[in-house]
Structure 1
């Protein structure tokens, strides 16, 4: 602390500020406790899948801290066998070296396991064994009893996927002549191992709003349908989902042609 006068009572001597062991420890302990809590949560999640973790690797600059190593080594993670804490050589440069490898060789992760279920809210044919009467309604278009507030699951939790795997959300709609075709859908998610049928389930939450824009498609490309004695247009289109390293990519397809990325608004 250059320029400060000596103040032994405050720990300032010859331009330097003295910190005691306990003061410095008090700065680090809250962060170390958070790290231990984070690692404990990851270990518990691994056990939840039926696997047994063996090692924890410390990387990055703080990964070379002897104090962090000692605290983790002394912590009881509650496992049947002891977990070995490892701080590899040159741990401080792991992140930067990994970034260079990612740029030179592309993603080294070939497969990912989906962390949750993904689907969309739909109306479907009423089934007394599955649906609740409060969700029932009569559809004049379909001419039958239907159930609202249901979910069609597109991707199941735990499925292996990569950037080349495409999941399809098939959509259908009718609209009036001279109307620009823009339709939205809400992508929902659930963390349960077995996804529920109902949108009302507490585990189901809205993830993002997808807007499919087919307004540039000529009207002649759509099919003609008759609804309540009125001639309308009908379109069947597909929204493709692909899981990439840090995002979910959505693209719009109609009659085999790609019409670009789907506009996405996350909740």
Structure 2
């Protein structure tokens, strides 16, 4: 997400926020910076001396004193702190089996409702103007700028943004390299709940098994366990490489744990052997590898069997040395790279999004079908068994789907897609009767259904309210049916404009903007 100050200024300040499930970061840049290197914020309250480029996405509210509020590293280890709030934005995806204690759910690929909720939250916080950008796209912008590689036209690459809560992936193909790199999405974005938060959960489970349920009840809320969990998060997760001599000494200060030498637990310290760590990592790593495989195979299908040239690993989990090792082992013929500052790649790439000397993403690949329901002429071979209605124009019609965007379609940036509507109004219509409600539908079934469904991935994307009370009346076409009844036809287009990660809606009649439109997104 980016925000730019003083829209009319020649030198604008661009602020980019990477709002993550477990960690969040900010980067900034100036629009006329010829070098074009965004700067990360690394001076955070509670992290003095460490200078991390991200801060924990945590908040703490004291229930007994509303004036006591803390956030980030200062939120501490209180059991009442608020964590993983990003997961609440779109609770529509199933949780993975290896996250049994996760109370909320997060989308693998964000829905339009979640994007809209994020935008509204930013505006309520006083950020304006605000632009949303897909995380893998931001990563691609930063990676293509930072890595010392020669991208050539038709080269393809997979971006794997492995973060705390989710892993998101998109494949791109280079269209041209001069004067700037221009790329297009090659395969629709995919993702899953395979982020490093799963490693933390599995570390909890491993310690619980190590000390037993009785000791765990006391240990889990202690300062000693908080110290151990931080060590695992900051050192083990990032540095584990599955080497023969990999061993970590996890300390639980003042925990008074019973010694268990056979399992490596002595004097409140667990000698976590290579196999102990591998058991924690492998299920999560395997899920990431499966997601990467889906993108690689999808890219090969688009490239006539040819593999993508690169795989870029970004994000906090993307900086994992063990993840890099496993991806390299699986794809020896593809160059696997971790860009410098992989943890800050999203925020820095988002800042680049509003700069002129950046790589340009020219199109996206649709991840869903989008369309509207319409009353089409009844066709016996197509519509047998479907409900029908007689219409004012003396026809018999049934409800069918009209899909205007299909999975895999190349969606050019700023392209307008028009959804035509036709209303039939009684002769005595009033201005109050010129407010119409429609639904924009989405579906992930392939192929897309001919008729509306009540099951599966077919659902309402948003409810659209169109107001034509101020439209010129000469746009209303007077007609008479065979019974002599007078009625009016109102034809208009719902116009969908693709702008970064968002869809913008407007209304047109005969190519000119009329009326107003409001959209209420459904979760």
Establish whether TM, by shorter chain, passes 0.5: yes
Residue 180 (structure 2) pairs with residue 180 (structure 1): no
Q: 1:206 to 1:107 in 2, by over 3 A?
A: farther
Partner of 1:264: 520
Q: Unaligned stretches of 5+ in structure 1?
A: none
RMSD, aligned α-carbons: 3.5
**Aligned partners of 2:401 and 2:450 also within 8 Å:** yes
> Number of residue pairs matched?
260
Deviations 1:22-59 (A, max 9, x none): 33333322321221121122223223434533332112
Partner of 1:59: 314
**Which of 330, 353, 361 is the aligned partner of 1:102?**
353
**Which of 389, 394, 409 is the aligned partner of 1:143?**
394
Partner of 2:421: 171
Partner of 1:19: 272
- Give the structure-2-normalised TM-score: 0.43
**Aligned partners of 1:210 and 1:263 also within 8 Å:** yes
Q: Unaligned stretches of 5+ in structure 2?
A: 1-223, 225-252
Deviations 1:119-140 (A, max 9, x none): 2212222345x52332374635
Instruction: Quote how far apart the aligned CAs of 1:67 are.
Output: 1.4
Return the alpha-carbon distance in structure 1 between the equivalents of residues 275 and 457 of structure 2. 47
**Aligned partners of 1:212 and 1:252 also within 8 Å:** no
Return the alpha-carbon distance in structure 1 between the equivalents of residues 434 and 487 of structure 2. 12
Residue 342 (structure 2) pairs with residue 91 (structure 1): yes
Return the alpha-carbon distance in structure 2 between the equivalents of residues 197 and 121 of structure 1. 10
- Give the structure-1-normalised TM-score: 0.77
Return the alpha-carbon distance in structure 1 between the equivalents of residues 324 and 462 of structure 2. 44
155-164 or 169-178: which moved more? 155-164
**Which of 339, 356, 363 is the aligned partner of 1:111?**
363
- 1:29-48 correspondence to structure 2 within 5 Å: 29-48=282-301
Instruction: Quote how far apart the aligned CAs of 1:207 are.
Output: 3.6
Instruction: Quote how far apart the aligned CAs of 1:18 are.
Output: 4.1
**Aligned partners of 2:388 and 2:399 also within 8 Å:** no
Instruction: Quote how far apart the aligned CAs of 1:17 are.
Output: 5.1
Return the alpha-carbon distance in structure 2 between the equivalents of residues 113 and 48 of structure 1. 14
Secondary structure of the 1:134 match is coil
Partner of 1:124: 376
